Every structure is written in structure tokens, then in C-alpha cells.
Structure 1
Amino acid sequence: MPINWNAEVIGPLMGVFGEPVTYMSLNGAPAFQVSGVYDKAFFAVNVETGSLVSTSQPTLGVQLSQFPPNSLPKQGDQLVIVGTGEQWEVREVHPDSRGGARLMLNVPGQTDV
């Protein structure tokens, strides 16, 4: 019997680890609430000098079924992490083929990583 990833895995994970997010789609629809797993993962960047510099890549894991059909996440959308008030813009959307997606985030208006 196949696993219903959305109902049996992603949904319960959002219930435990998700936090409230206000999402604003570029399509002009009113802002709406979703739950997401917010993270600021650290990684090393090799600069031209050969030195490693640590930086972070903020991400938000989301359950796509929480989004209205005409407002699935896309590049340029904006969101606010309710608990911290942090504002972000979606840089990339990485769907996982199981009903979830990882949103790579940037400071609003930032054009690079």
C-alpha cells in the first residue's frame, strides 16, 4: 500500500515543527497563513582567496496543500515569520514530489544569494 506522504508524514511534521507564516503571493491574492519549518542553515563559501567564509541560507519547508490552488509558492513571493517578524522573499522553490517544498529565501529586494 503506497504511503500518503502529505497526510501521514508532511502534515504531522508541520503540526510538530511548523510555525505560523504570513504568505503574500505575487498574484495579488490576499495574504494568507501557512505553517512552515523555518531554518537558517549555515554553510561555508570558498571565496577567491581560498578562505572559507561561513554564511547562512534561510529556508522554509512548506506543505503545498496549505496553499490556495492559484497561489502555489513562486519566486518573488514574500512572507513573514510571525514569531520573529522576519520578512523574506522567495528566491527559489524546490518541490519534493511528495507534497512539500523547500523555499530558499532572500532579504526582500536582494538579487544574489
Structure 2
Amino acid sequence: MPVNWDAEVIGPLMGVFGEPVTYTSLSGATFQISGVYDKAFFAVNVETGSLVSTSQPTLGVQLSQFQSNVPPQQGDQLLIIGTGEQWEVREVHIDGRGGARLMLNVLGQTDV
């Protein structure tokens, strides 16, 4: 019997680890979702060969929380309610199981 990832895995995980997010699509639609917000640290090798630590903010989302005609896309904006942080979606990585990881940038930032 196949696993219903959305109902049996992603939904319960969002219920435990998700936090409230106000999401605004490029089309102007604004709605509430839950997402797993993270600021993972990683090292960047600069031209000098030195490693510099930085963070990559991401938001794990359940795609069924989005209207079918308003999927997450580059340029969408969101507000993490608990921290007041505002972000713009830089990349959308769909996992094929009903979820996606949104790679985030500071509003108006065009580089990575």
C-alpha cells in the first residue's frame, strides 16, 4: 500500500515543527501557511581560500497548503510571524512527495 506522504508524514510534521507564516505570491494573493523555518550555517570558500561561515535561510512547506493555481515560486514574499522576519523566495525545490524547500533571500537581494 503506497504511503500518502502529504497526510501521513508532511502534515503531522508541520503540526509539530511548523510555525505560522504569512505568504504573498507574485500574483498578490496573501494567505496563511505553516512552515519549518531554518537558518542552516555553511562555509563559503572565498577567492583567498579562506572559509567564511554564513547562513542560508530556508522554509520547508507542505504544497497542499497552497492553492493549486498559486504554487510557490521565485519572487514570492513571506513573513515569519514569530520572528517578524521578511524574506523573498530565491529558489523552490520540490521534493516529489508533496513538500518543498524554499531557499530565501533578504527582500530585494538579487545575489545569493
TM-score, normalising length: structure 1: 0.98
Equivalence for 1:84: 83
Deviation at 1:28? 2.1
Q: In the alignment, residue 14 of structure 2 is paired with which amino acid?
A: M
Within 2, Cα distance between the matches of 1:69 and 1:62?
A: 14
Equivalence for 1:16: 16
Moved over 4 A (4+): none
- Alignment RMSD (CA, Å): 0.5
Q: How does 1:54-65 map to 2 (within 5 A)?
A: 54-65=53-64
Within 1, Cα distance between the matches of 2:53 and 2:85?
A: 21
Where in structure 1 are there 5+ consecutive unaligned residues?
Answer: none
TM-score, normalising length: structure 2: 0.99
User: Does the residue aligned with 2:16 lie in a helix, a strand or coil?
Assistant: helix
Give aligned-pair identity as a percent: 86
Deviation at 1:69? 1.3
User: Does the residue aligned with 1:16 lie in a helix, a strand or coil?
Assistant: helix
- Number of equivalent positions: 112
Deviation at 1:92? 0.1
Equivalence for 2:36: 37
